[in-house]
Amino acid sequence: MAFGLVLLLLELLSGTFFILTLGIAAIIVGIVSFLMLLSFNWELSLWIVLSLIGIFIWYRRIRKSKRSKVGQSDYALNTIGTVIKKIEPNGRGEVAFDTPVLGNSTLIATSDEAIDVGKRVKIVKVKGQLIEVRRVDG
C-alpha cells in the first residue's frame, strides 16, 4: 500500500494519469493482501495484471478523447456555399462555403447539373477532396 501511495504522489507531480493506474493497482493489491495472506510472487503478479488492465482502460479512453481535428472542420452534408466559378454538368467548378469544409472555405466542386456563378449550393457527397454539390432551391 505504501508503494501505491508513493505512485499516487508521483502522479500528483506528473499530471499524466498514467501512474495513477499503477498506484491504484498497488493499493488494491495491498487491500487484497491484507484480507488474504499472499506471497510476494502472487502480490507482484496481481499488481502486474491489475496494472495492465488499468493501462489498457486508460489507453482506450485517452486514445478516443485525444483525436484531433486540426485543420479540419466539422463539415456536414447540407453545408451551404456560393458558386464562384461555374460548374458544368459532371464538370468541376469552385464553391465558397459559409463555414470551412475540409480545412478550406473554397473548394473544387462537381455537380450533375450546370450551376451558374452566384447560385447557392449544398454538399451532397464528399469524395476525398472533391465535393459534390446540388443547387439549393429558393
pLDDT digits (tens, 9 = 90+) for 100-126: 777 778 888 999 999 999 999 988 888
Q: Tell me the domains of the chain and their CATH numbers.
A: 2-65 (no CATH), 80-135 (2.40.50.140)
What is the SS3 string spanning the chain? CHHHHHHHHHHHHHCCCHHHHHHHHHHHHHHHHHHCCCCHHHHHHHHHHHHHHHHHHHHHHHHHHCCCCCCCCCCCCCCEEEEEECECCCCEEEEEEEEEECCEEEEEEECCCCECCCCEEEEEEEECCEEEEEECCC
pLDDT digits (tens, 9 = 90+) for 19-65: 888 888 999 999 999 999 889 999 999 999 999 998 888 888 766 65
pTM: 0.45
